Amino acid sequence: RSDPSKDVAVAETVAVAPPCAMVIFGAGGDLTKRLVTPALYNLVTAKRLPDGFRLVGVDRTPGTVEEWRDNLTRMMDEFVTKGGGEFQADHLDQSAWRWLTDRMTFVHGDFTNPQDYGRLKEHLAGLDKTAGNHLFYLAVPDRFFAPIVAALGAADLVTEQDDGPWRRVVIEKPFGHDLPSAKALNAEILKTLQE
């Protein structure tokens, strides 16, 4: 049987994530609304995200950061009132939600347009408190995985220097549709990224 006092001690020593800009490709999509945003909200309420956290939405659909925030707020309110998705809560902590929405920015961009990655790079350079660390989350259909990774590489957005800011790319499933397509996708991605 576990000792509850030890469980509390372990929970209190869990580190807060390092500062970073998390860039979500597919910011207006279902995956972002139903899974990624609720997970980020849960991290905020658990006090696991640092003050130097920024959330950048990238989507092919034109819009503003205000429209993106409003859309996500409606979805989160709907989860609370009607249930659904992976997020189960009886209320939305407005202070925690505001903490997250205050850190949101939005960049309209075509996932296959190299100039849009240049604009994203400029946008990221203008963010404060992130220490230059970037996490790219690909919440997009799998046909965009390789083109986005290649474009990130071409824009010099995923290059790491020794003792410099870190770069990470998270790729949602499905990672290929069978073993040969998964191997082909992996080979394509490894042209730009290191595991």
- DSSP state at residue 34: I
**Omega into 147 within 30° of 0, i.e. cis?**
no
Structural tokens at position 173: 């499933």
Per-10-residue mean pLDDT for the chain, 195 residues long? 47 78 96 92 94 96 94 88 68 93 96 95 94 96 95 95 91 90 94 91
Within 13 Å of residue 130, how many CA atoms lie on the same side as its CB? 23
pLDDT for residue 163: 86
Residue 163, SS3 per DSSP: coil
pLDDT for residue 88: 66
How far, in Å, CA of 169 to CA of 137, rounded?
Answer: 6
- The per-residue pLDDT for range 140-161, each reduced to its tens digit, is 999 999 999 999 999 999 998 8
Q: State the greatest distance between any 2 C-alpha atoms of the chain, in Å, as a whole number.
A: 58
Q: What is the pTM of this model?
A: 0.88
How far, in Å, CA of 44 to CA of 51, rounded?
Answer: 10
